[in-house]
Amino acid sequence: MSSSLDHSPRPTGFDRFGLHPSLVRGIQALGFETPRPIQAEAIPAGLEGRDVLGLAQTGTGKTAAFALPLLQRILDTKRRGPQALVLAPTRELANQIDAEIRELARYTDIETATIFGGVSQYNQIRALRRRPEIIVGCPGRVLDLLKQRELNLSEVEMLVLDEADHMFDMGFLPDVRRILAALPMKRQNLLFSATMPREIRQLADDLQRDPHVVELASSAPAETIDHALYAVKEDLKRDLLDVVLGAEGCESAIVFTRTKHRAKRLAEQLSRKGLRAVALQGNMSQGQRDRAMRGFREGRFDILVATDIAARGIDVSDISHVINYDVPNTPEAYTHRIGRTGRSEREGTALTFVTRADSGWLRATERMIGTPITRCVAEGFGNEPVDGPDLGSPRSNGRQGRNGGGNRGRSGARDGGASRRPGSAGRSGRGRRARSRAR
């Protein structure tokens, strides 16, 4: 007995999934010890045969999150020939996925083939004739080979759409839909996307039945987001918001508040000042929420004042600013919130108002994202030192709060961008041009 135990694979955090020993060996060979959060969430659902909707970007470990259930299920069926199709937007990604699947499957006899355009079909057709179990490809070439009858997907039971939002951005959705028509109706659908534009949500709704949804806050904000904080006293937040909303480049903003009541009141105050603002909060009826969202998306409102819960899954694509009027409850919620801007490679700005009471949150958030957040200075505000010498605080300019003299922290050390200003302070946000944000 003990000798058979000696030969079993070394336990890893992946043991919990009950994977085939050959896959566990592959995982070990790759050096994976502990499942990443997306793997911990998606693998059990994938193994049960459930549809999975994963909101996660590349780098989170999503390839293994979908590949392991595919491999396990193929090992279970013991059938040969194409059983899984993975669609990806670029050939780089297709190659990357294929390489990782091969690594994970190296102790099995499962075969893969990659098919994408820009190179000769010859080798790809030869690879397909070997009847690989898994096909990883880009939509255009997959469709071409389907039309030429070199590819037969009639036995495919598992479909993965990876980086679905990029497939949409690159105009692949019509091809994807044509490919779907060539697949058996009964199959498992795994869809991964970093963002959820309306078209992808629609696709997910069409494809998936009661999917297991995994939404990850990536630990670091996207590089397209320029994010910074203002240290401010609570009673100056309103005035600071006017400055920020009126600044150059602030075309459309989501302003996050801590409570429904604050969202409602702030939206009313901004509207009274003539700004095109609307609230989105949980006390509103579904109809009111839909109207608010539609108005914001279609450019009738420039400012959406929202609570976290109401704003979940907001998929407006060109929000120039996210403003955390109140800090979110957790560090993770910070990346979720600021991820509402800077989508699909577009630039975005996220500004957070931080009071002295938020110093614990700030420390935890900076630890999570791994870098200090740039400190900004707004002309005329008593920039409150958020937690004294520990964090450093920006120089204050002009008007001082009761605890003014914001120079007390190490202003030079960590606030490299501290002298950045929000633009033409005090300019009215009124009369911004109307624009359609619908995608």
Contact residues toward ligand AMP (CB under 6 A) are: 32, 34-36, 39, 58-64, 100
**Residue carrying the six token digits 């929202």:** 306
Please give the Cα distance from 211 to 24 (Å, whole number).
26
Burial class of 232 by CB neighbour count within 10 A (0 to 12, 13 to 18, 19+): buried
CB of 112 to ligand AMP, least distance (A): 15
CB of 123 to ligand AMP, least distance (A): 25
Please give the Cα distance from 343 to 327 (Å, whole number).
21
Question: Is the Cβ of residue 13 or residue 423 nearer to ligand AMP in the bound state?
Answer: 13
CB of 336 to ligand AMP, least distance (A): 18
Which ranges constitute the DSSP H helices of 48-150? 62-77, 91-104, 122-129, 139-147
Q: Find the distance separating the first CA and the last CA of the chain, reported in whole Å.
A: 62
Question: Is the Cβ of residue 23 or residue 243 nearer to ligand AMP in the bound state?
Answer: 23
CB of 360 to ligand AMP, least distance (A): 30
Select from 61, 53, 89, 83 the least CA-distant residue to 71.
83
Please give the Cα distance from 72 to 3 (Å, whole number).
26
Handedness of CA 30, 35, 41, 43 (dihedral sign): positive
For the chain, give percent helix, strand, coil, nearest 5: 40, 15, 45
CB of 107 to ligand AMP, least distance (A): 17
Question: Is the Cβ of residue 216 or residue 316 nearer to ligand AMP in the bound state?
Answer: 216
CB of 111 to ligand AMP, least distance (A): 20
Please give the Cα distance from 343 to 221 (Å, whole number).
11
CB of 289 to ligand AMP, least distance (A): 33
Question: Is the Cβ of residue 35 or residue 299 nearer to ligand AMP in the bound state?
Answer: 35
Kind and range of the H or E run holding 305: strand 303-306
Half-sphere exposure of residue 329, counting CA atoms within 13 Å on the CB side?
5
CB distance 378 to 395 below 8 Å: no
CB of 33 to ligand AMP, least distance (A): 6
Question: Is the Cβ of residue 63 or residue 393 nearer to ligand AMP in the bound state?
Answer: 63
Pairing of strands 212-215, 321-324: unpaired
Question: Is the Cβ of residue 105 or residue 354 nearer to ligand AMP in the bound state?
Answer: 105
Question: Is the Cβ of residue 192 or residue 296 nearer to ligand AMP in the bound state?
Answer: 192
Q: What is the DSSP letter of 11?
A: P
Angle between helices 237-246 and 260-272 (to 10 degrees): 60
Please give the Cα distance from 71 to 43 (Å, whole number).
11
Half-sphere exposure of residue 152, counting CA atoms within 13 Å on the CB side?
8
Please enumerate in sequence order all residues whose Cβ is within 8 A of that of 261, keeping only pairs 6 or more positions apart, or say none.
none
Question: Is the Cβ of residue 159 or residue 327 nearer to ligand AMP in the bound state?
Answer: 159
Question: Is the Cβ of residue 219 or residue 288 nearer to ligand AMP in the bound state?
Answer: 219
CB of 14 to ligand AMP, least distance (A): 8
Question: Is the Cβ of residue 35 or residue 385 nearer to ligand AMP in the bound state?
Answer: 35
Please provide residue 321's backbone torsions phi and psi, each rounded to the nearest 5 degrees: -130, 140
**Residue carrying the six token digits 């903003």:** 253
CB of 219 to ligand AMP, least distance (A): 12
CB of 221 to ligand AMP, least distance (A): 17
Question: Is the Cβ of residue 105 or residue 351 nearer to ligand AMP in the bound state?
Answer: 105
Please give the Cα distance from 293 to 313 (Å, whole number).
12
